[in-house]
Structure 1
Amino acid sequence: MTTFRKNPILTLLGIAVVGLAFRAVYAQNQNHSSGGMVEWLTPPLPSNRPQTPEQEERGRQFGRTVPQPELLQPEIDKSLPAYKPRTDLPVSGSFTGGCSDVLPGLVKGWVASFRKYY
């Protein structure tokens, strides 16, 4: 042990060897995938078809129908508590904004549910 204290190069060499040994053990325990590719277990969905002019106009007026949920689409958290309306203060306001053609149909549903309480 006195040899390592007298010779700092041997001390650094010992630290490097121990570090490389830990690195080798760590690298062996890693689960590496080859090439960074992901293998999907479900087949891909077909491509979306462009809307016809009639569908575009209907979407502008009433909102487009909601598409099927995608594979990785988030779901509503089932642990959220049920909505409890506020009765201690008046609720009013307006909102103006831009959106996709799916949102108007969803907003109509939200407003209908909101009006049940207010």
Structure 2
Amino acid sequence: YRSNTGNEEDYTLMPWSVPKQTYEEYTKSFYESIVHKNLAHCSNLPTPDKAYPIPKGTVYKFDRCVVDGDGMPDYAPDGYYKVVFNATGEVEWTVTIIVKITKKTD
């Protein structure tokens, strides 16, 4: 989803999405090509080969992450982007991440 203002009612669906898949499939695709590439330097995320199964009791920590965009679309208009992760199974949970994209300045 994307919004110019960040107000909840302004978000519109974007054409980028990740198809519904198992967590194991996710670790071999989206996680490896985008998530780990962009967040490994500032977190304790496991390497893709150790991301499945999810290690029990692990707390993931992120420290001042700056994403360089590896594996992401080449162009994204400035604004607020909302990413929603839904997990289903024995337990259902959702993680929502909101980021602000701005032009890179020197």
Fold shared, TM-score > 0.5 on shorter chain: no
The TM-score normalised by the length of structure 2 is: 0.25
Between structures 1 and 2, the one with greater strand share: 2
Between structures 1 and 2, the one with greater helix share: 1
Q: Which has the larger radius of gyration?
A: 1
